[in-house]
Amino acid sequence: MRLLVTGGLGFIGSNFIRHVLTEHPGVRVVNLDLRTYAGNPANLADLRGNPRYRWIKGDIADPFIVKRCMAGADAVVHFAAETHVDRSILDAGAFLRTNVVGTDVLLRAALKNGVERFVHVGTDEVYGSVPRGFSTESDRLLPNSPYAASKAAGDLLARSYFVTHGLPVIVTRASNNFGPYQFPEKALPLMITNWIDDKPYPLYGDGRQVRDWLYVLDHVRALDLILRRGRPGEVYNVAGGYSCANRELVERVRRLMEKPRDLVKRVPDRPGHDRRYALNFSKLKKLGYRPAHGFGAALARTVDWYRGHETWWRPLKKDGGYRAYYRRQYAARLGAAS
Ligand code: TYD
């Protein structure tokens, strides 16, 4: 199988590529990735020289490069996206270009090329905040952040290509991922790497926001299953099955890393911050998916991974763009600690 993966230098995409190349000797991967701030060739450094893997640097919103990459592809797994909610609050432009326009360019090229499967990797944030119960795939979409709105637009565009053109599209909606190679702007890697350096972690608002946590190695197994056994036209929720409030998460990690309480710094809340996400993923369970990693063990492995990979994350945090973002996002909130 020839697989076109987009955004394969990112966190989930790189874990997915490593997974499929390890598990399926018959798979060849072309990775179309622009190498934005969050895309990092170091995430797949171990694949250098692998004849079944090729990275092509390019923008999914560029029809010429997409046409080139799509040629000969049997299936597409589309990860490429701007993903950080806080950045979308500062400026949503790149989110619209990549998550909406880029998705449309890919869908059009996939249709022309007659691909057998197009998996659009999405997020539970499209459902908006769920005060109680669990979101099922047929629930209405009520995205609240510019990020979530752009992902909902891509998700609905993908659906429209199935309904209108018969493109065999499958949409996934996953909960909060964590694990190795996650860019240190997201909650868990920011917390862990700040604490390795005894710097404070900014906890937004009252910390009672609830998230479901999905270990990235479970997520990529689920995506592999969906690619092979999912039904075109369907949507699949993907969750880890462990949920907690942010303040509980912080306490867990703090105890695990043996850090003092004063490294948790309450800061003003994120505007429009969703209080709770929760997914019903029984449809995916019927396909045969079960999370293989318990949350506690996966969290401990993740902390160990960041402790053991300082050469991976330190250059990212030293980068001028990261520092400018961090200052803009946190300086007023954290004071001198930024
Ligand atoms: P994040 O990793 O940004 O994922 P998302 O917003 O997509 O769920 O954040 C996870 C949760 O942690 C979310 O409720 C926001 C919160 N959070 C903080 O409290 N402080 C932070 O510095 C960050 C980045 C997130």
Average pLDDT on 198-202 reads: 97
- What is the spatial distance between Cα 137 and Cα 159, in angstroms, rounded to a whole number? 13
- Quote the strand ranges of the chain, DSSP E: 2-6, 28-33, 53-57, 75-78, 117-123, 169-174, 176-178, 201-204, 210-215, 235-238, 242-245, 264-267
- What is the spatial distance between Cα 150 and Cα 43, in angstroms, rounded to a whole number? 26
Q: Quick check: 42 and 181 in contact, CB under 8 A?
A: no
Q: Which of 125, 155, 218, 274 is catalytic?
A: 125
Q: Which two tokens stand for residue 112?
A: 């022309």
pLDDT at residue 333, as a whole number: 75
Residue 54 burial (CB count, 10 A): 13
Gyration radius (Cα) of the chain, Å: 19
pLDDT band per the 50, 70, 90 thresholds, residue 334: confident
Residue with the smallest CA separation from ligand 1 atom 22 is 202
| 89-114 confidence digits (pLDDT tens) | 999 999 999 999 999 999 999 999 99
Task: From the CA of 83, give the closest atom in ligand 1.
Answer: 7
Residue of 294, 309, 112 whose CA lies nearest to 217? 294
- What is the spatial distance between Cα 179 and Cα 13, in angstroms, rounded to a whole number? 12
Residue with the smallest CA separation from ligand 1 atom 20 is 203
- What is the spatial distance between Cα 83 and Cα 59, in angstroms, rounded to a whole number? 16
Pocket test for ligand 1, best of 211, 247, 251, 317 (most atoms within 8 A of CB): 211
Pocket test for ligand 1, best of 195, 246, 273 (most atoms within 8 A of CB): 246
Pocket test for ligand 1, best of 270, 274, 322 (most atoms within 8 A of CB): 270
The percent of residues in the chain predicted with pLDDT above 90, rounded, is 97
CATH numeric code, 2-178+211-238 = 3.40.50.720
Rounded to 10 deg, the angle between the 103-113 and 63-70 helix axes is 40
| CB-based burial, 162-174: b 16+ in 10 Å, e otherwise | beeeebbbbbbbb
pLDDT at residue 336, as a whole number: 43
Q: Quick check: 237 and 173 in contact, CB under 8 A?
A: yes
DSSP-based three-state secondary structure for 57: strand
Q: For the chain, what are the domain ranges?
A: 2-178+211-238
pLDDT at residue 331, as a whole number: 81
Flag whether pLDDT at 19 surpasses 80: yes
User: DSSP assignment, residue 112?
Assistant: H
Helical (H) or strand (E) element with 69: helix 63-70
Known active-site residue 125: yes
Amino acid letter for position 80: A
Flag whether pLDDT at 338 surpasses 80: no
Q: Quick check: 40 and 55 in contact, CB under 8 A?
A: no
Q: Quick check: 178 and 188 in contact, CB under 8 A?
A: yes
Amino acid letter for position 241: G
CA 169 to ligand 1 centroid distance, Å? 30
pLDDT at residue 256, as a whole number: 98
DSSP assignment of 259-278 equals: --GGGEEEEPPPTT--SB--
Phi-psi region of 141 (alpha: psi -120 to 50; beta: other; left: phi over 0): beta
pLDDT at residue 335, as a whole number: 62
User: DSSP assignment, residue 138?
Assistant: T
Compute the Cα dihedral for 293, 294, 295, 296 and give only its sign: negative
| 116-169 confidence digits (pLDDT tens) | 999 999 999 999 999 999 999 999 999 999 999 999 999 999 999 999 999 999
Known active-site residue 124: yes
Residue with the smallest CA separation from ligand 1 atom 24 is 187
Look up tokens 């948790």; give the residue: 264
Residue 310 burial (CB count, 10 A): 13
Please give the order of strands across the beta sheet that includes 176-178. Answer: 176-178, 210-215, 242-245
Q: Which two tokens stand for residue 272?
A: 């429009």
- Quote the strand ranges of 179-274, DSSP E: 201-204, 210-215, 235-238, 242-245, 264-267
- What is the spatial distance between Cα 59 and Cα 47, in angstroms, rounded to a whole number? 22
